[in-house]
């Protein structure tokens, strides 16, 4: 048996770490905010009632008869005095009110000119370090991806995507311990078109044209059977690539979207060196994403050519409830759902993966949240190790997380969402070659914590970053061998929320 106690390939074991923390993009936002003015219920579509019309003017028969002064016979030629003017007590003192309110402005929909868009599928940031308690396996990862899209006209967007990754890890194969160092760079321009399918759905396909560069070096360190290890093996590729993603989007709240759809990523660059020399890679998948948008212009129908009369009651725009209010439901980029298949031309190397990791948080009171996550992850593949020998890999992970959090409001557009949780799960993985098999079944228990600083650029949407901790309290395999993992990270989180208190309109009288 291998001297490290049958430790699993770190490459296969790092995937399960996403039970609690994915590498690129997680956690949530916050804030409590009491409206500055007590709201009243939303008026219906009818105009405000006018003041009661004055009663009809009374006829002369209902007036007080005039009194005519009698002339005096004092010798002076003085005309009779005029009768006093009668006053109608029922006449209105002021003119009837004509106050009205303007019709509500048309709703602003996703995809209108001037909007900026961020999707979790093309945005991420993570710097992390993982080490194990009883083996030489370890991993350092630093990666950032930025993708922004801008709607130049209604329904048509142009954007960009840039990605940079550095990774160094030591992991076990079937019979060897190896160190792999890799870098990846990419950048390109993206074109998108959004088609509305109703008030709550739209179809948003996007095509990204990019250049990609990758380089990796695999350095064997030791072998289980004591045989001499081989020389380091390097590979590299530089060239164009395309990425096509076509999600169907659901809009559960203003400025917040979730979606799921097919993806194709094809790399035209040819790999030079290493076990996949001369091959090109293709990845087909269907992926879940969360995202949001801000900015934009009001619809033309909402524009007013004439200045409203000062006696028209104006509807005051209500303040949006702040993140962290009672009843809100939160989804972040930690939520995953995907199925994918990757392959290499001129090679039998391929891999298939299925991930279903729904995660949700709910604010039970202002500022206080509870949440959970269930993770099902499966992967299987055939490939080549650093020596070019055939290799089979498989992994199945199951687990769940329970967590609680508190949102600390810093300002109208910023908050810190402190959260932590506990998790439990199992991992069954194996790596096999003609030289042997490294197979383990493990059960794990862990704690996790995060404190991201959130920025809220628009209602129902947030983006932020902060420190995160993942630490296994227990990790035992079928041989009762303990090998606990610890991860410290700084990572991006992107997400949104819906539900909670309703937004009510307050009518502002003229002059207020």
Q: What is the pLDDT of residues 112-129, one digit of tens each?
A: 999 999 999 889 999 999
Alpha helices in 367-485 (DSSP H): none
**pLDDT above 70 coverage of the chain, percent:** 72
Q: DSSP states of 1-45 as a string? A: --TTSSPPPHHHHHGGGGGT--SS-----------SS---PPP-S
pLDDT at 87: 46
Nearby residues of 306 by Cβ (< 8 Å), 6 or more positions away: none
Name the residue among 323, 301, 244, 335 with its Cα closest to residue 109. 301
Distance CA 332, CA 498 (A): 12
pLDDT at 102: 52
Q: What is the pLDDT of residues 489-499, one digit of tens each?
A: 999 999 999 99
pLDDT at 137: 86
Q: Give 296's pLDDT tier (boundaries 50, 70, 90).
A: confident
Name the residue among 406, 425, 403 with its Cα closest to residue 416. 406
Residue 510 has pLDDT above 70, yes or no: no
Cβ 332 vs Cβ 494: under 8 Å:
yes
Q: Which of 53-62, 129-138, 168-177, 406-415 has the highest mean pLDDT?
A: 406-415
pLDDT at 25: 40
Q: What is the pLDDT of residues 325-336, one digit of tens each?
A: 999 999 998 889
pLDDT at 223: 79
Q: What is the pLDDT of residues 440-469, one digit of tens each?
A: 899 999 999 999 999 999 999 999 999 999
pLDDT at 171: 85
Name the residue among 500, 83, 197, 486 with its Cα closest to residue 324. 500
Distance CA 336, CA 22 (A): 9
pLDDT at 64: 42
Distance CA 174, CA 399 (A): 25
Output the CA angle 312-313-314, nearest 5 degrees.
110
Task: State how far the alpha carbon of 242 is from the alpha carbons of 153, 190, 276, 368, in Å.
Answer: 24, 10, 20, 43
pLDDT at 439: 87
Q: Give 433's pLDDT tier (boundaries 50, 70, 90).
A: confident
**pLDDT above 90 coverage of the chain, percent:** 54
Q: Give 11's pLDDT tier (boundaries 50, 70, 90).
A: very low
pLDDT at 297: 65
The secondary structure of residue 122, as a DSSP letter, is G
177 is written with which tokens?
């311990």
Strands 461-476 and 453-458, bridge-based pairing: antiparallel
What is the per-residue burial (b if ≥16 Cβ within 10 Å, else e) of 211-233?
Answer: ebebebbbbbeebbeeeeeeeeb
Distance CA 135, CA 125 (A): 28
Distance CA 132, CA 7 (A): 10
Residue 246 has pLDDT above 90, yes or no: yes
Residue 479 has pLDDT above 70, yes or no: yes
CA torsion sign for 394, 400, 406, 407 is positive
Between 159 and 64, whose confidence is greater? 159
Strands 124-132 and 138-153, bridge-based pairing: antiparallel
Q: What are phi and psi of 343, to 5 degrees?
A: -150, 160
Name beta bridge partners: 332. Answer: 495
| Average pLDDT of the residues in 421-445 | 90
Name the residue among 412, 148, 411, 409 with its Cα closest to residue 295. 148
Residue 62 has pLDDT above 60, yes or no: no
DSSP collapsed to 3 states, 127-143: EEEEEECCCCCEEEEEE
Half-sphere exposure in the Cβ direction for 499 (13 Å, CA) = 13
Cβ 149 vs Cβ 116: under 8 Å:
yes
Q: Quick one: residue 407, left, alpha or beta (phi over 0 = left, psi -120 to 50 = alpha)?
A: beta
Least confident of 172-181, 206-215, 269-278, 336-345: 172-181
Strands 328-332 and 312-316, bridge-based pairing: unpaired
First to last CA, the chain: 82
494 is written with which tokens?
């992107």
Between 164 and 78, whose confidence is greater? 164
Average pLDDT taken over every residue of the chain: 79
| Average pLDDT of the residues in 51-75 | 43
Strands (DSSP E) contained in 333-389 are 336-344, 350-357, 359-365, 368-384
Between 349 and 420, whose confidence is greater? 420
Q: What is the pLDDT of residues 77-119, one digit of tens each?
A: 545 444 444 444 444 444 444 445 555 556 789 999 999 999 9
Task: State how far the alpha carbon of 348 is from the alpha carbons of 272, 344, 391, in Å.
Answer: 17, 7, 11
Where are the chain's structural domains? 10-33+108-299+328-508
Q: What is the pLDDT of residues 359-399, one digit of tens each?
A: 999 999 999 999 999 999 999 998 877 777 788 889 999 99
Q: Which contiguous run of DSSP H or E holds residue 182?
A: strand 176-193
Between 220 and 224, whose confidence is greater? 220
| Average pLDDT of the residues in 341-361 | 91
pTM comes to 0.74
Round the CA-based radius of gyration of the chain to a whole number and report it.
35
Residue 34 has pLDDT above 50, yes or no: no
Name the residue among 490, 488, 494, 431 with its Cα closest to residue 17. 488
Name the residue among 418, 294, 403, 290 with its Cα closest to residue 29. 418
pLDDT at 140: 94
């Amino acid at each position: 048996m291998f001297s490290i106690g049958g430790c699993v390939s770190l490459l296969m074991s790092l995937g399960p770490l996403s039970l609690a923390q994915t590498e690129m993009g997680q956690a949530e936002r916050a804030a409590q905010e009491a409206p500055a003015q007590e709201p009243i219920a939303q008026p219906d579509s009818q105009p405000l009632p006018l003041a009661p019309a004055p009663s009809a003017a009374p006829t002369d028969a209902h007036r007080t008869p005039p009194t005519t002064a009698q002339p005096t016979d004092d010798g002076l030629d003085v005309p009779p005095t005029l009768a006093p003017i009668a006053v109608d007590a029922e006449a209105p003192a002021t003119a009837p009110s004509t106050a009205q309110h303007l019709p509500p402005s048309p709703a602003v929909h996703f995809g209108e000119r001037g909007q900026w868009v961020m999707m979790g599928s093309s945005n991420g940031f993570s710097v992390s370090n993982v080490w194990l308690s009883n083996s030489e396996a370890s991993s350092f990862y630093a990666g950032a991806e930025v993708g922004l899209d801008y709607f130049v006209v209604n329904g048509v967007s142009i954007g960009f995507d840039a990605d940079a990754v550095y990774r160094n890890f030591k992991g076990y194969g079937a019979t060897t311990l190896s160190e792999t160092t890799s870098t990846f760079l990419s950048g390109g321009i993206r074109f998108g078109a959004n088609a509305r399918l109703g008030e709550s759905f739209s179809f948003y396909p996007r095509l990204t044209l990019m250049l990609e560069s990758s380089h990796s070096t695999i350095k064997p360190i030791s072998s289980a059977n004591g045989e001499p290890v081989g020389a380091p093996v390097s590979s590299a590729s530089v060239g164009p690539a395309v990425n096509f993603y076509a999600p169907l989007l659901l809009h559960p709240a203003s400025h917040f979207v979730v979606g799921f759809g097919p993806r194709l990523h094809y790399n035209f660059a040819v790999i030079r060196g290493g076990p996949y020399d001369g091959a090109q890679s293709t990845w087909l998948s269907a992926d879940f994403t969360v995202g949001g948008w801000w900015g934009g212009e009001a619809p033309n129908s909402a524009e007013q050519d004439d200045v409203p009369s000062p006696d028209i009651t104006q509807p005051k725009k209500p303040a949006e409830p702040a993140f962290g209010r009672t009843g809100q439901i939160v989804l972040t980029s930690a939520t995953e759902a995907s199925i994918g298949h990757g392959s290499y031309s001129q090679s039998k190397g391929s891999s298939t993966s299925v991930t279903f990791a729904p995660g949700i948080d709910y604010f039970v009171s202002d500022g206080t949240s509870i949440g959970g996550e269930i993770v099902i992850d499966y992967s299987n593949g055939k490939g080549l190790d650093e020596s070019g020998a055939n290799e089979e890999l498989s992994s199945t992970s199951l687990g769940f997380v329970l967590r609680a959090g508190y949102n600390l409001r810093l300002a109208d557009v910023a908050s810190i969402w402190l959260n932590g949780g506990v998790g439990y799960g199992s991992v069954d993985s194996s790596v096999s070659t003609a030289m042997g098999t490294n197979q383990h079944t493990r059960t794990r228990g862990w704690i996790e914590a995060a404190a991201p600083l959130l920025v809220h650029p628009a209602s129902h949407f947030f983006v932020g970053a902060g420190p995160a901790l993942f630490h296994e309290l227990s990790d035992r395999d079928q041989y009762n061998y303990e090998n606990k993992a610890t991860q410290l990270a700084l990572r991006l989180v992107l997400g949104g929320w819906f539900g909670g208190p309703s937004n009510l309109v307050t009518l502002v009288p003229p002059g207020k």
